[in-house]
Amino acid sequence: MAADLSATAAGTWTLGDLTVNRLGFGAMRITANPDREVAIRVLRRAVELGVNHIDTAAFYRSPGGTLGVGEGPERFANELIREALSPYPEGLVITTKVGPGVDERGFYNATTPAELRTQVEENLRQLGREHLDVVNLRIMNRPGESIADRFGWLTELRDAGLIRHLGISNVSPAHLDEAQAIAPVVCVQNSYSIDTHREDDKFLGLCGERGIAFVPFFAIAGSQREGGPTTDHTAAIEALAAAHDATPAQIRLAWTLHQGPHVLAIPGTGNPTHLAQNIATAALHLTPEELATLN
**Residues identified as active-site:** 60
What contacts 208, CB < 8 A, 6 or more positions away?
214, 260, 261, 262
Query: Nearest 5°: phi and psi at 294?
Result: -70, -35
E strand spans, the chain: 12-15, 18-21, 25-26, 53-55, 93-98, 100-103, 106-109, 132-138, 163-169, 187-191, 213-217
Rg of the Cα atoms in the chain: 18
E strand spans, 104-205: 106-109, 132-138, 163-169, 187-191
End-to-end CA distance of the chain: 22
Q: How far apart are CA 292 and CA 245, in angstroms?
A: 19
Contact 99, 137 (CB under 8 A): yes
Q: Which of 1, 62, 82, 42 is nearest to 274 (CA)?
A: 42
Q: How far apart are CA 101 and CA 67, in angstroms?
A: 9
In Å, what is the CA distance from 66 to each residue of 81, 102, 229, 265?
20, 10, 17, 22
